[in-house]
Amino acid sequence: MKGIDYIKNDFIGYLIITEEEDGISSIKQCNEKPKIEIKKSLEVEKCKKQLEEYFSGKRKSFDLKLDMRGTEFRKKAWNELLKILYGETITYGEQARRLGNPKSSRAVGQANGDNKILIVVPCHRVIGKNGKMTGFSSEGGIKIKEYLLELEKNNK
C-alpha cells in the first residue's frame, strides 16, 4: 500500500481512501472515525482535495490514477460508469446495452455493487429501470446514493 487517509463529510460520514501501486484502489464509506494508521501519498492527498471540491459543488469530474481490480467484465462495467456525466443517471439495462450485452443487467448490478472506488467511479448514477433507487454498497446505503444524486442535481 502506497497511501491511506480519510476525509469526513457531514452527511456521509467518513471516506477511507487507499492507494495501491497503480493508483486509488478504494474509497470506502464508514460511519465511525476510522482507526487507521495514516500513510501520506501524493495521490491520496489529491483524491482528498478533489472529493472536498466535489462535496462543495466545485468539481464535476475527477482526475486521478485508479487501480481498479477485478475481472475483465467488472473493469469494463466500472469504466462505463466513468462515462456517465455528472448529474445524469442511467439504468442498469442501459449500462448493459452500452457494454454490448443487453441481457447482462444483473451482472452489471453485481459489478457495480462490488465497485471499491465510491463516488469517483460513480455507481451511484445507475438506477433501476422504474426510476427507483436500488442498492448502494456502503454502510449508508440508498440514503447516500440519494444524497449524491441530489448534490449533483443541485450543482449541475
The set of catalytic residues is 123
The Cα 137–Cα 84 span in angstroms is 19
Inter-residue contact 15 to 7 (CB < 8 Å): yes
State how beta strands 13-20 and 3-9 pair.
antiparallel
Task: State the cell numbers at 5.
Answer: 487517509
Instruction: Enumerate the β-bridge partners of residue 17.
Output: 5, 27
The Cα 103–Cα 23 span in angstroms is 32
Of 34, 123, 31, the closest CA to residue 70 belongs to 123
Which amino acid, residue 58?
A: K
